[in-house]
Amino acid sequence: MFSLHSGLRFWFCPEPTDMRKSFDGLSGLVRMHLALNPGNGDVFIFIGKRRDKIKLLHWEDGGFTLYYKRLESGTFELPVTAGGKCHLSWWQLCLLIEGVSICQNDIPCYTVIGIRIEGSICSVASSQG
């Protein structure tokens, strides 16, 4: 059962990840690069070197769950990190997984095929520029 929700903490591993890794290999990366316990109930996010694959590792009651997505075209945009680990919110994870472009400046802005969202205001971008 898909059990990711906004009540969880989401950690992005900034190092490009070998997407052949599974539960044990990704757990080792969590310990080594993020210095966190992979069994603490948080969700850990890994993106491959080509940025077309993403894996989410999550400990649930009874064991690990691994979510995996491969893009048919395009790449995932990497969050800007200022160190060895990066905390993401639920909505940032949703945007990342859906391939929405996230601008990294003082005012959060996201561009989705002609729609620009700034803060809580949504406006449709003009096709004339």
| DSSP string computed for the chain | -----TTS-EEE--S-B-TT--HHHHHHHIIIII---TTSS-EEEEEBTTSSEEEEEEEETTEEEEEEEE-SSS-PPPPP-SSS-EEE-HHHHHHHHHT-EEE-SSS-EEEETTEEEETTEEEEPPTT-
| pTM exceeding the 0.85 threshold for the entire prediction | no
pLDDT in tens, 51-92: 999 999 999 988 999 999 998 888 888 777 666 678 888 888
pLDDT in tens, 16-35: 999 999 999 999 999 998 99
- Domains of the chain, by residue range, sit at 10-98, 101-129
pLDDT in tens, 91-120: 888 888 887 766 554 444 444 444 444 443
